[in-house]
Amino acid sequence: MVWWGIAGGVDEIVRYTYRLRPGVQAQRSLSQEWGRCRFLWNEAVHQHKVGNKPTLAKLGKLLTELRGKNAWMREGSQVAQQSMVRSYAQALQHSFTVKGRGRPTYKAKKRTWASLEYNTRGFSIQEGRLRLPKGVSIPVVWSRELPSEPTSVRVYQDSLGHWYASFVVRREVEPAPEATGGIGIDWGVSATATTTNEHYDLPYLGHRRRCAAELAKAQRTMACRHRKGGKQSKGYQRARRRAAKLHKKAARQTQHDSRVWAKKVTDTHDLIAVEDFHPMFLTKSTMARKAADAAIGAAKRELITIAERAGRKVVLVTPAYTTMTCSGCFARAKQAP
């Protein structure tokens, strides 16, 4: 499950994600639908580059023109294409409001994975199967029941080629346990999170480091089997999937540990002071690999999201001098000469 939104009243909006088992025909239909939506996204990016700033109204007209001129665009679902238009408008607006975030860029065929959005007009659930426009029916692995009728669904593909359906639903809010006291959290690399109470520290676990040898072997196999130009062999695809599987396994382990740690901190504190640390600059340093393994940004997001959903007070602290300032008397240590 992926947390989404903030709890309001007695209900909260969340995402429930399930594995899909599409057949050959369904996979072909999904890939073709993604090709149309990707073309629409790239056309909107092109219009922006040539100076025609696309608003939501202009994007709607662009979609109408493309469907009128191209028969292959009309063969796709209008619901999915309209959702892609809205996603582009939101991404463009987000780039204007968030400092340092660039505007949307082209979606390359070889470097982006399929992601399709459908509202209630574009999907239904019948006999345990997800039914999409144009007669696409996909079996769903129902690992648990949906708490309510879904209002939308996102069908996407991961790096392993697996397909998933993420439903937006409402469920009752589970009351958080009573808690008192506060805690301060400082981010790092040798220890992912250092707190004012050592019992709540999050150590560097190094999941990617443990599978580094196996990952390097898979990447060497990819390099040996890679063809310059043309379609890649099945051996190369197997090696690529093996490397992607190792990456995903380490990422899931890190995400699970971050969620368990964030839940532990949230259940026992009502005030959480978090260093507003941005680890992007570490990617250009000698600590890039270890910083990526620590996943500081992911742990920070999990903590803030879970704490806000539990009704805790979260304070973002400017990272300047946080390592040099005493949390008790607020005295600042002198810098080394």
CA nearest neighbour of 261 among 315, 185, 320, 180: 185
* The predicted structure's pLDDT at residue 333: 65
Contact by Cβ (8 Å): 156, 113: yes
* The predicted structure's pLDDT at residue 5: 44
Candidate from 113-127, 183-197, 323-337 with smallest mean pLDDT: 323-337
Candidate from 169-183, 236-250, 253-267 with smallest mean pLDDT: 169-183
Give the mean model confidence (pLDDT) for residues 275-298.
78
Candidate from 74-83, 143-152, 172-181, 316-325 with smallest mean pLDDT: 316-325
* The predicted structure's pLDDT at residue 6: 43
Give the separation between CA 172 and CA 180, rounded to whole angstroms.
Answer: 24
Quickly state the pLDDT bin for 8 (edges 50, 70, 90). Answer: very low
- Could you tell me which residues are beta bridge partners of residue 315? 273
CA nearest neighbour of 144 among 15, 254, 256, 259: 15
Q: What is the pLDDT of residues 186-200, one digit of tens each?
A: 888 888 888 988 899
* The predicted structure's pLDDT at residue 325: 66
- DSSP for 252-264? HHHHHHHHHHHHH
* The predicted structure's pLDDT at residue 2: 45
Quickly state the pLDDT bin for 139 (edges 50, 70, 90). Answer: very high
* The predicted structure's pLDDT at residue 101: 67
Quickly state the pLDDT bin for 323 (edges 50, 70, 90). Answer: low
Which structure tokens are listed for 198? 């050592």
Instruction: Give the predicted TM-score (pTM) of the model.
Output: 0.80
Contact by Cβ (8 Å): 192, 185: no
Phi, psi of 82, rounded to the nearest 5 degrees: -65, -35
* The predicted structure's pLDDT at residue 280: 74
Percent of the chain past pLDDT 70, that is, above it, reads: 90
300 exposed, middle or buried (CB, 10 Å; 0-12, 13-18, 19+)? buried
* The predicted structure's pLDDT at residue 318: 83
Which DSSP state fits 54?
-
Percent of the chain past pLDDT 90, that is, above it, reads: 47
